[in-house]
A and B are shown apart, each in its own frame.
Chain A
Amino acid sequence: MSARARLRVADVGPLALLGVRGRPARAALSATGVAIGVATLVAVLGISASSRAQLIAQIDSLGTNLLTVSPSAAFSGQATNLPPTAPAMVARIGPVESDAATSELPDSVYRSRDIPAVNSEAITVEAADTGLLRTVQGRLWAGSFLNGATAHLPAVVLGHDAAAALGIDRAGGRVTVWLGSRSFDVVGILEPVTLAPELDRAALVGFPAAHQVLHRLARPSEIYVRADPSSVAAVESVLSATADPASPQNVSVADPADALTARADASAAFASLYLSLGAVALLVGGIGIANVMVIAVLERRGEIGLRRAMGARRIHVGLQFVSEATAISLLGGIAGAVLGALAVAVYAGLRHWSTAIPPAALAGAVGVALAVGAVGGLYPAWRASRLSPAEALRSA
């Protein structure tokens, strides 16, 4: 009995590349579909990861130690306020580095007294502590924040969106708005506040001014608390009982950084549409490779016949064509991964983000390309392996 015909594993790779090297342009064109699919997958995953990484970096730079204390919606559904003593109580918690309260007032703000009352532009008027800007790590776009002096005066600091809605682009001097039933000087405009976006659409006045100028009681409706970073959890656990010892269940404590991160994760879900487009491109790419390989089998009947004559078994011929299809798809996958990564880098660069491409996305995309090629090569390989050697040689 003769020794079995066998093909060494080390010879499969060079065999797979034979067809690619023989017709490089055709191989490149048939790999294009897979390349586009993989590039789409990598780009979508990379851009959404970069955007998320950027947001997290931004939140980290602002500190993840900010907590907010607010009244929870009462059982009746009516908004409640925190006890007037709450800010002072919270400030006494050891690891609290700074805190600032705001109080939503039932007033509206207008560009001038001639504006109809209904055109309030959904801007909330709030009394704010002078330490608010430091506690939320906000920055001024123009002018200055409320201080010990202006907190007593009819002076207002506008959030970024509130200023835009009112059509105000400078602060100080003689810029005024109509607030309550009198004119207030605009002393400052804030930049967007990442950790407290609710301030972007607010007009802030000092607590003393709320009492003395607007004649409001101004009970705190929100307290911003900056805790020692190593004791955030400890502070969080005692905040509600400290703010309202009588009914801690009426107090809700939140971590804005957590909420923002969760929102970023949720927005990644929108990427699924693009991911499915990438999957369609991969499917079409796989069909394209199968098509080209079927033609290659017809063209290379002579080679197939010769290989059978040299002792190749059916499985060796089939393996050659499957691995050739896989090689084409893999090359497309690698090219696509590089293209996708470049797209992410360019997009992130334009937005001044750092580029973050999850390694799992790269590996997954290349793995999918491998699978697409292998599946696309199955049918042509089966046809090649079923050719009878004499017939293949005759028809060549």
Chain B
Amino acid sequence: MSALVLDAVTKEHPAATPVRALCDVTLRVAAGEFVAVTGASGSGKSTLLAVAGTLERPTSGSVQVAGTAVESMSDADLSAVRSNHLGFVFQQFHLLPTRSVLQNVSDGLLYRGVPASERLARAADAVAAVGLAHRRTHRPAELSGGECQRVAIARAIVGRPALLLADEPTGNLDSATGDEIFAVLARLHEGGTTILVVTHNEELARRVPRAVALRDGWIERDERR
């Protein structure tokens, strides 16, 4: 089964002269794949991730997440798709400063109606999976940038999503820490997680088994290594 199918997706941002961010993009991501989407600024890669993540609706074309067509769903049903099937990692870590690592990660299950004790137990596993078990009681302010991003990754995978979407996860980090984050993603992929990562860093993208290059909203290249 495909974790994600984009079929002839076009996305225009409304403006005086509408900006076409994605043009007729067709992309199929199979379960268990690790895909990097690259491209210059303005090539449409973040829009692609937003459409794939049901954060934005396509102007035309169809989107399927974990086998379910989502383009005509209600807002509440889209929330359910995100809650049950998707995990997100962003360039900004979006960690809550007053909550510990474990609590931040457990919030990944907040909108699934999971009881707090079970959320914390599952968060402990996710924190261990990103190698931060020793930091679980720390606050975000006590962590390095790389550690914060690993917490955000743990929060995204705590619900075992069908697809992990990462938007420039190394954008705020130095290259060594960026390497570290990609290593964490690679480990998760080996463990069976399906990952779509958007990055402008060609070097990191080359380590990923499949790289999709975007240019002006079109898929320029789709290479498997």
Residues of A within 8 A of B (CB): 1-8, 10-11, 18, 21-22, 302-303, 305-314, 316, 388-390, 393, 396
Residue in A closest to B99 when the chains form the complex, CB atoms: A18
Which one of B49-57, B130-138, B195-203, B211-219 contacts A? B49-57
Q: Is B221 an interface residue (CB 8 A)?
A: no
Q: Which residues of A contact B113 (CB under 8 A)?
A: 6-8
A306 to chain B, nearest CB (A): 4
Q: Is B88 an interface residue (CB 8 A)?
A: yes
Residues of B within 8 A of A (CB): 50, 53, 55-56, 68, 75-77, 79-86, 88, 90, 92, 94, 96-99, 107-108, 110-113, 115-116, 155
Given contacts A21-B98, A310-B88, contact A11 B55 (CB under 8 A): no
- The answer to whether B68 and A313 touch across the interface, beta carbons within 8 angstroms, is no
Closest 5 CB pairs of A and B: A311-B83, A311-B111, A6-B113, A5-B83, A2-B80
Q: Which residues of B contact A3 (CB under 8 A)?
A: 80, 84, 112
Q: Choose among A11, A308, A390, A393 the residue that contacts B110 (Cβ–Cβ < 8 A).
A: A11
Q: What are 9 A-B contacts defined by CB distance under 8 Å?
A: A1-B68, A2-B83, A8-B115, A8-B116, A302-B94, A305-B94, A307-B111, A311-B79, A390-B55
Q: Which residues of A contact B50 (CB under 8 A)?
A: 390
Q: Which residues of A contact B77 (CB under 8 A)?
A: 1-2
Interface centre among A2, A307, A316, by most chain B C-beta atoms within 10 angstroms, is: A2
Q: Which residues of A contact B79 (CB under 8 A)?
A: 5, 308, 311-313
- The answer to whether B75 and A303 touch across the interface, beta carbons within 8 angstroms, is no
Given contacts A3-B84, A5-B112, A8-B115, contact A308 B55 (CB under 8 A): yes
- The answer to whether B85 and A390 touch across the interface, beta carbons within 8 angstroms, is no
A362 to chain B, nearest CB (A): 31
Q: Which residues of A contact B85 (CB under 8 A)?
A: 2
In the complex the two chains form, what is the Cα distance from A314 to B107 in whole Å? 17
B59 to chain A, nearest CB (A): 14
- The answer to whether A2 and B55 touch across the interface, beta carbons within 8 angstroms, is no
- The answer to whether B84 and A2 touch across the interface, beta carbons within 8 angstroms, is yes
Q: Which residues of B contact A389 (CB under 8 A)?
A: 55
Q: Which residues of B contact A302 (CB under 8 A)?
A: 92, 94
Residue in B closest to A24 when the chains form the complex, CB atoms: B98
- The answer to whether B80 and A306 touch across the interface, beta carbons within 8 angstroms, is no
Given contacts A306-B90, A306-B94, contact A314 B112 (CB under 8 A): no
Q: Which residues of A contact B83 (CB under 8 A)?
A: 2, 5, 310-312
- The answer to whether A303 and B76 touch across the interface, beta carbons within 8 angstroms, is no
B74 to chain A, nearest CB (A): 10
Interface centre among A7, A11, A314, by most chain B C-beta atoms within 10 angstroms, is: A11
- The answer to whether A312 and B116 touch across the interface, beta carbons within 8 angstroms, is no
Q: Which residues of A contact B82 (CB under 8 A)?
A: 5, 308-311
Q: Which residues of B contact A6 (CB under 8 A)?
A: 111-113
Q: Which residues of B contact A8 (CB under 8 A)?
A: 113, 115-116
Interface centre among B55, B56, B90, by most chain A C-beta atoms within 10 angstroms, is: B55
In the complex the two chains form, what is the Cα distance from A305 to B91 in whole Å? 13
13 new A-B contacts, CB < 8 A, other than A1-B68, A18-B99, A305-B94, are: A2-B68, A2-B83, A4-B76, A4-B80, A8-B115, A10-B115, A18-B96, A309-B53, A309-B86, A310-B111, A314-B76, A393-B90, A396-B94
- The answer to whether A390 and B115 touch across the interface, beta carbons within 8 angstroms, is no
Q: Which residues of B contact A305 (CB under 8 A)?
A: 55, 94
In the complex the two chains form, what is the Cα distance from A5 to B94 in whole Å? 20
In the complex the two chains form, what is the Cα distance from A305 to B112 in whole Å? 17
In the complex the two chains form, what is the Cα distance from A314 to B68 in whole Å? 21
In the complex the two chains form, what is the Cα distance from A215 to B210 in whole Å? 127
Residue in B closest to A396 when the chains form the complex, CB atoms: B92
Interface centre among A310, A313, A389, A390, by most chain B C-beta atoms within 10 angstroms, is: A310
Given contacts A5-B76, A7-B110, A11-B110, contact A311 B84 (CB under 8 A): yes
Q: Choose among A22, A316, A396 the residue that contacts B111 (Cβ–Cβ < 8 A).
A: A316
B21 to chain A, nearest CB (A): 11
Q: Which residues of A contact B112 (CB under 8 A)?
A: 3, 5-6, 311
